[in-house]
Amino acid sequence: MADTPETTRLPPVGLLYDERMCNHATPDGEDHPENPERIRAIWRKLESEGISQRCVVMKAKEAEDRYIASVHSQSHIKLIRSISSREFDTIRRRRIASSFNSIYFNQGSSESAFLAAGSVIEISEKVASGDLSSGVAIVRPPGHHAEHNKAMGFCLFNNVAIAASFLLNERPELCIKKILIVDWDIHHGNGTQKMFYNDSRVLYFSVHRFDSGSFYPAGGDGSHHMIGEGPGQGYNINVPWEHAQYGDVDYIAVWDHVLIPVVKAYGPDIILISAGFDSAIGDPLGGCCVTPYGYAIMLKKLTEFARGKIVMALEGGYNFKSIANSVLACVKVLLGEKPSQGSFELQPFESTWRVIQMVRHELKQYWPVLTGELPQKLFTSCRRYCPLELNYSSSGSDVENDEEPSSTAPSIHIAEVAGDSLSLTLSKLNINEACHSASEPPSCEIVNGCAPWRTLLSEIDIWYGSYGSNMWKARFLCYIKGGKVEGMSAPCYGSRDTSLPKDVIWKTVPRRLFFGRSSTRTWGNGGVAFLHPDSCSSDKAHMCLYKITLEQFNDLLFQENSLVEKDIIGQQILSPLLGLSDLNYVSENKSLILQALKGGWYSNVLYLGKEDNLPILTMSCPLSDIERFKSGEIPISAPPKSYTSTLVKGLVEGKQLSEEEAIEYIKDATNRKL
């Protein structure tokens, strides 16, 4: 039968939210970070952004005892069932709660616990069966600390573990034989790890603060040496952070150099995410700084596997704004939207590389893709850890649990950073510049995979405005694909990402075009095009705009300033010339001299406004060179023939000018006094 809209339409994304899970709360209304407002805040956000309307919204139903029993003891199930009954008064509940680590109970706790577990089962079953393409369970209480016979760390039942067992043992017809659990909550999921420690059907991967075993849940369970046992050996992967402040670029480095290669090799049938957002920027317990954009990229990378069958289940996350914005960014990814808005850090911590290397070493025997050594150079790389005052939790270990995030003053400005502004600047974060590498030159390289800054900048589109030989598309593509075209004497290296521009348009700008310098490697004797950095309403320059990524623009900058032959080639460049904070800067100040290109002919990045809401960038000489051109210190010369004919080809093929007009345009730019 021919395709009808019905047969081609993708199954919807499922969202599960149920107000009844708000009934679990502290018995006398004491403040607690794990409180009902968390999931309310998330739900409000999804509603007000029109996201829930684009999904299938589901209500919770309680998990059956027999399903819970596959990972918890009968006595634990019985305790959680009865804890809210009338035979238990507040005092007795308190006494039982205090026999656990970081647990409270009230009359709503039982129902919430059964609903949370049932929710994750239900949504997982629907994703596994294909009724939903993916799903998000906005549940509480969280689950990953809960063990076989105990509640712990705000968790009563291990929701994700219960759902994983359910798929494997109760629904053989769905053919789920291999499950990947990704736990990006800032805490180690000790419960989940134990439940599948000798089971190769579940690959448990957790990235969490470890701080030498002092971070909650303290001890050795979260160490990278915990790799699984018996048939489960190699199927437990811990990435133990050494301190606070890890952010997008650190997580993406872990994704690129540990998780994704392993997932490729493992080939899971479904992915369950223990999605705690206490690793988010602004979280009062986590002290780290993953942005909504970071979560979106991490999630998007996972959607390439298991035919996109992904279930996210909420775990921790204690800053309402942060968790709402983070979940929003994730659901948008599941709906097929492209992650927007960037991160501020482009260099991982040196400890990030150390941790990655330890984990790869520990697991390479089970996952040969992890075998290659990371180059020593990485360790001298740029970002160094500096303990900060603005951490809520005293650095080193987790703070006692009863901190209330909304009233903790310092969380306010951080929470705003977690919002939707593109101006994520270092100054807002109040991070000591001295801790950062911004001023250090690009140094190191990475053997397999690409530098994390590339991953981040490859998601950002800009317009590159060309006014010289690059107006001829074939010539411009040499910078993307590599090689040379007619008239060029030397080939280009090309960009790492060789994908074509997403769009090409023409524009005129009120700027003076002129030709300067007296010879180039590519074109021989004669001048090449420059744009006067200042605008002048009586001038008019033709521009061909290419929609490319900020990563490609960086590769263009490298090539245009002929830096590639020195020490930085293609994918081995460890820092970009123009990162996100530079993009913010140039958008506000219209011009930015790249210090790394000091002396380069095209070291000045110009901002020419916006098109389609994306910035238009080009490169030219610094303003200071204009005086030197005028005084004759730097020569002004007519373009060589090969260059002129490239310019004419660009303008004519681009249908901007006739051949005669194009020649006239170049003549005028050549002859008119600067």
CB of 102 to ligand Q9C, least distance (A): 4
Does position 185 interact with Zn ion (CB under 5 A)? The reply is: yes
CB of 276 to ligand Q9C, least distance (A): 5
Q: Which candidate, 85, 92, 87, 88, places its Cα nearest to that of 114?
A: 85
238/522 with CB nearer ligand Q9C: 238
Does position 316 interact with ligand Q9C (CB under 6 A)? The reply is: yes
Apex 672 CA angle, 668 and 674, nearest 5:
130
Residue list 216-245, contact with ligand Q9C (CB under 6 A): 216
140/360 with CB nearer ligand Q9C: 140
112/437 with CB nearer Zn ion: 112
DSSP helix/strand/coil, 440: coil
64: Cβ contacts below 8 Å, ≥ 6 apart:
118
Q: Is the dihedral of CA 207, 209, 215, 219 positive or negative?
A: positive
**Cβ atoms within 10 Å of 406's Cβ, excluding its own:** 17
Is 243 catalytic? The answer is: no
Residue 439: half-sphere exposure toward Cβ, Cα within 13 Å: 5
With contact defined as beta carbons under 8 Å apart, do 295 and 207 qualify?
no
Residue type, 152: M
Residue 28 touches which of Zn ion, ligand Q9C, none (CB < 5 to 8 A by kind)?
Answer: none
The rounded distance, in Å, linking the Cα atoms of 63 and 65 is: 6
Residue list 88-147, contact with ligand Q9C (CB under 6 A): 102, 142, 145
Residue 147 touches which of ligand Q9C, Zn ion, none (CB < 5 to 8 A by kind)?
Answer: none
Please pick, among 145, 208, 243, 257, the residue that the annotation labels catalytic.
145
CB of 186 to ligand Q9C, least distance (A): 7
The rounded distance, in Å, linking the Cα atoms of 305 and 310 is: 9
79/116 with CB nearer ligand Q9C: 116
Residue 671: half-sphere exposure toward Cβ, Cα within 13 Å: 6
Length of the chain: 674
Residue list 274-303, contact with ligand Q9C (CB under 6 A): 276, 278
Residue list 413-472, contact with ligand Q9C (CB under 6 A): none
Does position 143 interact with Zn ion (CB under 5 A)? The reply is: no
Taking contact as CB under 6 A, which single stretch among the options 151-159, 361-369, 612-620, 623-631 is the one that binds ligand Q9C? 151-159
36/316 with CB nearer Zn ion: 316
Does position 315 interact with ligand Q9C (CB under 6 A)? The reply is: yes
CB of 316 to Zn ion, least distance (A): 3
117/651 with CB nearer Zn ion: 117
- Residues facing 275 on adjacent strands: 314
Residue type, 398: D
Does position 187 interact with Zn ion (CB under 5 A)? The reply is: yes
Does position 141 interact with Zn ion (CB under 5 A)? The reply is: no
Q: What tokens appear for 456 in the block?
A: 């981040």
What contacts 24+ positions apart, CB below 8 Å, involve 491-494?
Answer: 492/559, 493/555, 493/559, 493/564, 493/569, 493/570, 494/555, 494/570
**Residues 418-457, mask of contacts with Zn ion (x by CB under 5 A):** ----------------------------------------
The rounded distance, in Å, linking the Cα atoms of 214 and 217 is: 8
393/581 with CB nearer Zn ion: 393
The rounded distance, in Å, linking the Cα atoms of 372 and 382 is: 22
Does position 316 interact with Zn ion (CB under 5 A)? The reply is: yes
The rounded distance, in Å, linking the Cα atoms of 428 and 425 is: 5
Taking contact as CB under 6 A, which single stretch among the options 201-209, 396-404, 508-516, 598-606 is the one that binds ligand Q9C? 396-404
Does position 400 interact with ligand Q9C (CB under 6 A)? The reply is: yes
Q: What tokens appear for 272 in the block?
A: 């369950």
Does position 183 interact with Zn ion (CB under 5 A)? The reply is: no
The separation between CA 346 and the C-alpha centre of its own chain, rounded to angstroms, equals 11
Does position 278 interact with Zn ion (CB under 5 A)? The reply is: yes
Residue 173 touches which of Zn ion, ligand Q9C, none (CB < 5 to 8 A by kind)?
Answer: none
276/650 with CB nearer ligand Q9C: 276
CB of 146 to ligand Q9C, least distance (A): 9
Residue list 173-202, contact with ligand Q9C (CB under 6 A): 185, 187
Helix ranges (H only) for 34-108 are 37-48, 65-68, 74-82, 90-98
Residue nearest to ligand Q9C (CB): 316
The separation between CA 432 and the C-alpha centre of its own chain, rounded to angstroms, equals 23
The rounded distance, in Å, linking the Cα atoms of 330 and 323 is: 10
Radius of gyration of the chain measured on its C-alpha atoms: 28
Taking contact as CB under 5 A, which single stretch among the options 311-319, 364-372, 613-621, 665-673 is the one that binds Zn ion? 311-319
102/165 with CB nearer Zn ion: 102
Binding residues (CB under 6 A) for ligand Q9C: these are 102, 142, 145, 153-155, 185, 187, 216, 276, 278, 315-316, 398, 400-401
Catalytic residues: 145
Binding residues (CB under 5 A) for Zn ion: these are 185, 187, 276, 278, 316
